[in-house]
Amino acid sequence: MTQHNLHLGRTQFGNIADAGNLLSIEEAHHLLREWVPNEKLQLHMKQVAALMKAWAIERERADADSAQAWELAGLLHDADWEKYPETHCKKIIEELERRHIDPTVIHCIASHGPKYFGVEPETKMDLMIYVFDELSGFIHAASLIRPMGYEGMDTKSVLKKLKTLSFAAQVNREDITDAISRVDQTLEEIIQFILEHQKDVR
């Protein structure tokens, strides 16, 4: 995460009248390609989106619309990070508000880094994007240095890498610990879920 002051200065987003209004996944992917030239960053966002959708369906028993909201938040959470690092989150929030998108999606995006943006996760969707964001990127980074990638990768090897502070040093271990402390799953359970659900995302 950048060192800019990214506090959003507010905790309310969107309009309650827009509840249920979602971008289609096709529209979201178009926005992603338009705003995010970096294919590695695109992949990160697609991986988080896949995790969010899978968690919503498998663990929260979400219906199609709710699962789509989870997926959209994951897909767009870093949409402005590359082009607008000094106003990360502000730009995508403003864009989604302009498009009258469901405020729960916008709040979820705003809460994916509470100590950076000053917005606390409130819903389960908020909590899980915070849980997945750093860990997803970390696990993918670990896969890249393995000859077989994700194949054969297990929770034990990820935990070992997490303790090696020189590896993926930009990943804030404190954020991971804080995120996990807010949910009723263990770090090991979350790592296993990520390994199972993001390995085939392209």
As a whole number, mean pLDDT of residues 117-143 equals 97
User: Are residues 32 and 47 in contact, defined by beta-carbon separation less than 8 angstroms?
Assistant: no
Using 50, 70 and 90 to split pLDDT, how confident is the model at 6?
confident
Using 50, 70 and 90 to split pLDDT, how confident is the model at 71?
very high
Using 50, 70 and 90 to split pLDDT, how confident is the model at 185?
very high
Given a cut of 60, whether residue 169 has pLDDT beyond it is yes
Whole-angstrom distance, CA of residue 49 vs CA of residue 95: 19
Query: What is the CATH topology of the domain spanning 16-198?
Result: Hypothetical protein af1432 (1.10.3210)
